[in-house]
Amino acid sequence: MIDEARIIAQLKDEAQREYAFNTLVQEYQEVLYWQIRRLVLTHEDADDVLQNTFLKAWVALDDFRAESKISTWLFRIAINESLSFLEKKKRNTDITSGIDGFLTNQLVADPYFDGDETQVLLQEAIAQLPDKQKAVFNLKYFQEMKYEDMSQMLGTSIGALKASYHHAVKKITDFFQQSD
């Protein structure tokens, strides 16, 4: 783990900024990639969104006030970029109702995906969730993130996050029961 105080000081120092940012990229690129990938599903899309995430972070460095952890700030940017990407993809797809199946088919065809049938079903179930529920489910289930951290990251109350997660789990459970 990186030393938050040291990296923040380096980011504020023009002479050390690039080095500090490269340190952030090395530290967080994998965990951010997988969070993004769980939302957008394909490797190529996840790479694009990850690149956009770091680009937005670089541009917004002067706006980072250190009121939250750097990781929280980066996750917020990554999730917002992922949700924006999904929204744009839905707008650009003629058959909006078929976008979830389209995304799942892209996942299965992705040469980087090595999941079994159960993982495909889970991804199909997750793909059918509303985008915000999808983000909450992924953060809680895959990242095992605390509601307090999610609340800070997403700007949503803990109660609303718990309700979103509960509804997501219920929808996923129903999906698996219907698939039997």
Please give the full DSSP string across 88-143, using - where no structure is assigned: HHHHH-S-GGGHHHHHHHHHHH-TT----HHHHHHHHHHHTS-HHHHHHHHHHHTS
User: Residue ranges per domain, the chain?
Assistant: 4-179
Q: How far apart are alpha carbons 127 and 129 in whole angstroms? A: 6
pLDDT higher than 90, residue 160: yes
- The one-letter code for the residue type at 86 is L
Closest by Cα among 99, 89, 79 to 39: 79
**Above 70 in pLDDT, residue 88?**
yes
- Of 151, 103, 149, 147, the C-alpha closest to 129 is 103
Structure confidence at residue 95 as a pLDDT band (50, 70, 90): very low
The model's confidence at residue 112, banded by pLDDT at 50, 70 and 90, is low
Is the model's pLDDT at 147 over the cut of 90?
yes
Q: Looking at the domain 4-179, which fold is it?
A: Rna Polymerase Sigma Factor; Chain: A (1.10.1740)
The whole-model pTM stands at 0.77
| Cα atoms found within 13 Å of the Cα of residue 20, Cβ hemisphere only | 19
pLDDT confidence bin for 127, thresholds 50/70/90: confident
Q: Could you tell me if 164 and 157 are in contact, meaning their C-beta atoms sit under 8 angstroms apart?
A: no
Mean pLDDT within 4-33: 94
